[in-house]
Structure 1
Amino acid sequence: MLGLRATFKEDIQATPAELVYGKSLRLPAEFFTESKPHPNEVEFIEDFRRAMNLIRPTQTAHHAKAQPFIQKELHRCTQVFVRNDAVGPPLQQPYDGPFAVIERHPKYYTLDIRDKAKKISIDRLKVAFTDDNNTIDENIEPPSSESNETQTKTTTRLGRKVRFPSRLCL
């Protein structure tokens, strides 16, 4: 089709594409035209070096430092929902509960689940706003992170204990 539309017709003194589009078609061989070399190669190299010196690496992402979303009311609530992470059948509820909060820690809460105390990570918890006014308790203090700070000084991220020589301790 391209060949028929780009063929010059002597009787009409034009190609069919010129009649339809007003100018001739660009053929595939015309896409690859030779570019003229830069007149001054020294100037080109200097411009290229200047452009390359301006290139800086992008900052890498810190995947290990992602913080989960935690609701503001979570540290004062009396009941929470627990996210169900298992793959289940269609129309299964994503959260189970509400369950009563027994004890709070910086990274996990101890919940009363079916009359047993279970420790659940706080990134799986969601505040249960019920019709009762007892959902949020104003007298509860948020879990202190002071014990966590002292623990990080003596333990690694994997939980191994670090013992420093007494000559290095102050």
Structure 2
Amino acid sequence: MRMVFRWFGEGNDSVSLTKIKQIPGVEGIVWALHDIPAGEIWPLDRIQEVKKQTDLYGFHLDVVESVNIHESIKLGSADRDVYIMNYLETIKHLASVGVKVICYNFMPVFDWVRTDLFRSLPDQSTALFYEKEKVTAMDPLELVRKIAANPDYTMPGWEPERLKR
């Protein structure tokens, strides 16, 4: 087993790679390119840019998250083959930098949901938090409005152009 830490990327995460490097035992970064819409090919140069950033700290990139499945694939639409080919090309690009695990969410419409992005814990740290009761009671359009109102962070599956639809 190898310990990794989730990093949202340079300029998109309040926790820097310098700080992550201080966590004993962390060998790798779980990462993503949050600004790439579902169905688009992840450009090799962007992937290599993340590798260069993490190489400076000796981290591996074995795990990538949020290579999202386009809705056309999920729905079996006529244009799905284009998006399947794009996904395969992205897999090849990721493999070229050593990625071994690709995580994705196959949920319709939303990639993922949390009720709190900065839940304070007893030790003064923060964490993502999910409360089923809050999500069940929530109006989906209100959820979209809340996410859209926070332009400081982009999150996979919650890209501004996707939220408009």
- Name the TM-score, length of structure 1 as normaliser: 0.18
- More RCO (CA 8 Å, sep 6+): 2
Larger Rg: 1
TM-score, length-scaled by structure 2: 0.19
